[in-house]
């Protein structure tokens, strides 16, 4: 071992004059030995530093990893249990750079998808798996809302973003085709029969939309003109004032989809027992067909040809990947849909644990192989 060490010390590969070690020169001998010892010590220290620099994260000291994690997760408002869970997920996922991963959604989802599969594969009971998955998705939703940078990102609308165009007292679902400066081009809104609306120049409108980080904004503007687009789809050019107003922030990520579903009307039934009155929710036996256009753990948009009134309670049933998803929702508003049917905007008011986990797996794509 010592011969190997000395072979890596070019500073020691010189010829030493034996006379330096004569009894008449003790100071010279001490000096030479001190230099040799110092060089050996420095070499050993450098080697240890280099080895620790390339050591895997899992073998680093817990203190250093926890420090890097705390710095990366600061500002998200995690509680103690969530902090412990995130450290565990990062350790098991062999994360070397917590700060980079937590700021990169694709990388973060790869790590969380690995944790999702480990829970499904290693949990002893379904109840234990559902409990852990709920904690996992709750944490992932928190991390999906990054700390605000203070910049107003509402003025820039990405192409293909779903939006609501409000004209007078009516609302229409449209899609943004392009956005540049104060000009936004959307699809031409259509009435319930699918006929394009004719809107005069100067008509006041409001565009409401959500960004990819689930932040909602609205912009006030006026109709400029009808335009042709590169895709051949007729467009409507709107000039807005550039002053985005913040809408209520979504708590859950929403995903565009096309899922067939059934829904049932749910009514509140009041039962009188003498002076005492109790109530219960009763689900009708008749079902209606619908198609989900987007979904989150907090709500969905659904197209149907038999729209219920605003405020109606609905039981929504979805079959996906051999799993039944059942939720109770309330219709918040309705919009005319281009072409067939009416679009319902629904808020979920009761989501069982297993349904919450199944919906979250759909939204984040953990039930597929896309992130593997």
Residue-wise pLDDT for 272-283, tens only, equals 777 787 778 899
Residues 264, 334 share a domain: yes
Q: Is residue 93 part of a domain?
A: yes
Residues 61, 48 share a domain: no
Q: Is residue 341 part of a domain?
A: yes
Lowest mean pLDDT among 108-112, 314-318, 364-368: 364-368
Please compute, for residue 305, the number of CA atoms within 13 A of its CA located in the half-sphere on the CB side: 5
Give the domain-ending residue among 35, 53, 71: 53
Q: Is residue 154 part of a domain?
A: no
Q: Which residue has the higher pLDDT, 1 or 210?
A: 210
CA–CA distance, 213 with 171 (Å, rounded to integer): 24
Residues 83, 30 share a domain: no
Residues 27, 96 share a domain: no
CA–CA distance, 363 with 348 (Å, rounded to integer): 15
SS3 content of the chain, % helix, strand, coil (to 5): 35, 35, 35
Give the domain-ending residue among 203, 224, 246: 246
Residue 367 has pLDDT above 60, yes or no: yes
Smallest Cα–Cα separation from 237: which of 174, 169, 188? 188
Q: Which residue has the higher pLDDT, 292 or 335?
A: 292
Q: For the segment 233-263, what is each residue's pLDDT rounded down to a tens digit? A: 789 999 998 888 877 666 788 898 999 999 9
pTM: 0.63
Residues 352, 262 share a domain: yes
Residue 4 has pLDDT above 50, yes or no: no
Q: How many domains does the chain have?
A: 4
Q: For the segment 170-183, what is each residue's pLDDT rounded down to a tens digit? A: 888 888 988 888 89
Please count the other Cβ atoms lying within 10 Å of the Cβ belonging to residue 123.
15
Q: Which residue has the higher pLDDT, 191 or 235?
A: 235
Q: What is the CATH number of the domain that holds 193?
A: 2.40.10.220
Q: Is residue 28 part of a domain?
A: yes
Q: Tokens at residue 297, please?
A: 């753990």
Q: Is residue 152 part of a domain?
A: no
Residues 353, 267 share a domain: yes
Residue 229 confidence (pLDDT): 78
Residues 61, 45 share a domain: no
Range of the structural domain that residue 48 is part of: 2-53
Residue 273 confidence (pLDDT): 75
Residues 304, 332 share a domain: yes
Q: Is residue 150 part of a domain?
A: no
Residue 203 confidence (pLDDT): 92
Residues 179, 227 share a domain: yes
Please report, rounded to a whole number, the percentage of residues in the chain having pLDDT higher than 70.
76
Residues 266, 342 share a domain: yes
Q: Is residue 224 part of a domain?
A: yes
Q: Is residue 346 part of a domain?
A: yes
Residues 329, 280 share a domain: yes
Q: Which uninterrupted H or E stretch holds 172?
A: strand 170-180
Residues 259, 232 share a domain: no
Q: Tokens at residue 207, please?
A: 């565009």
């Amino acid at each position: 071992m010592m011969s190997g060490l000395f072979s890596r010390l070019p500073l020691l590969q010189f010829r030493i004059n034996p006379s330096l070690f004569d009894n008449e020169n003790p100071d010279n001998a001490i000096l030479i030995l001190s230099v040799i010892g110092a060089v050996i010590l420095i070499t050993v220290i450098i080697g240890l530093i280099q080895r620790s620099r390339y050591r895997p994260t899992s073998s680093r000291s817990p203190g250093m990893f926890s420090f890097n994690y705390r710095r990366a997760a600061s500002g998200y408002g995690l509680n103690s249990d969530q902090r412990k869970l995130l450290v565990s997920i990062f350790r098991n996922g062999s994360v070397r750079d917590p700060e980079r991963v937590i700021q990169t959604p694709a990388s973060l989802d790869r790590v969380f998808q690995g944790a999702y599969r480990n829970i499904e594969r290693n949990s002893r009971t379904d109840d234990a798996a559902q409990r852990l998955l709920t904690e996992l998705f709750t944490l992932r939703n928190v991390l999906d809302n990054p700390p605000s940078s203070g910049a107003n990102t509402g003025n820039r609308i990405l192409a293909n973003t779903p939006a609501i165009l409000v004209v007078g007292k009516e609302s229409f679902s449209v899609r943004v085709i392009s956005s540049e400066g104060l000009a936004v081009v959307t699809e031409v809104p259509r009435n319930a029969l699918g006929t394009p609306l004719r809107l005069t120049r100067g008509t006041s409108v409001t565009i409401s939309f959500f960004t990819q980080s689930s932040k909602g904004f609205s912009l006030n503007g006026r109709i400029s003109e009808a335009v042709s687009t590169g895709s051949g789809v007729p467009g409507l050019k709107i000039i807005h004032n550039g002053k985005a107003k913040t809408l209520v922030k979504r708590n859950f990520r929403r995903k565009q989809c096309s899922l067939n579903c059934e829904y049932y009307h749910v009514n509140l039934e009041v039962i009188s027992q003498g002076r005492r009155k109790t109530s219960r929710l009763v689900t009708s036996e008749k079902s209606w067909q619908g198609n989900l256009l987007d979904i989150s753990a907090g709500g969905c948009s659904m197209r149907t040809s038999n729209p219920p009134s605003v405020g109606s309670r609905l039981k929504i049933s979805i079959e996906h990947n051999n799993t039944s998803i059942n939720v109770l929702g309330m219709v918040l508003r309705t919009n005319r849909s281009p072409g067939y049917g009416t679009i319902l905007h629904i808020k979920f008011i009761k989501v069982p644990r297993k349904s919450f986990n199944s919906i979250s797996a759909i939204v984040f794509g953990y039930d597929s192989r896309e992130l593997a």
